[in-house]
Chains A and B, each alone.
Chain A
């Protein structure tokens, strides 16, 4: 079965610019997650969707980050405007509902200069 797909793999932008990341989860997986991983740290959950509804966005900086999952399949994470501290790898994961086994994509490495 195909894994979680993410694009782009790498992105370099200047501070105050905007950027968007795309994720296509494993077919049939109802739950989708976005994580932020800063260098040297473990992934931190930003937002969790169940189908196209938000389950948990308590750690999402809502003044600059937004995410959507239209039609309960693909998802987009946006940052506007970006700050230097947003430099990180953004990981997307999906699961089939019981949150004991999450499948992760390869991530998007964002560098903000």
Chain B
């Protein structure tokens, strides 16, 4: 199963772009990269996912390198409400036929004024 490596913590100034890196050097060709975040005392929240191409939605952008061994989640204008733990997850196929999400420890992003 592909594993992910993320820095344990990052800081960002409010209004600036937050760039959260993730390494997944053992990802296989049919595995997707997902990003979730978890604000304190809440359940995780889906942000975005991608396979090969860069993706953008109303919350964030996902940049995946050409060799797919790493990716970056970009929050273009971070706000205080973006302070959370961000999880980079590679979807793991299971024998049951359904893919599940395996969470690591994630990156604690602290956005400050």
Contacts and interface: CB of A to CB of B under 8 A. Distances in A.
Contacts, number: 57
Residue among B87, B91, B98, B99 with the most chain A CB within 10 A?
B98
B43 A106 contact: yes
Interface residues of A, number: 24
Chain B interface size, under 10 / 10 to 19 / 20 to 34 / 35 or more: 20 to 34
A44 B97 CA distance: 19
A25 interface: no
A43 interface: yes
Top 8 A-B pairs ranked by shortest CB distance? A104-B43, A42-B103, A101-B46, A55-B96, A43-B103, A56-B96, A104-B44, A55-B98
Interface of A: 4, 31, 33, 40-45, 48, 50, 55-56, 91, 93, 99-107
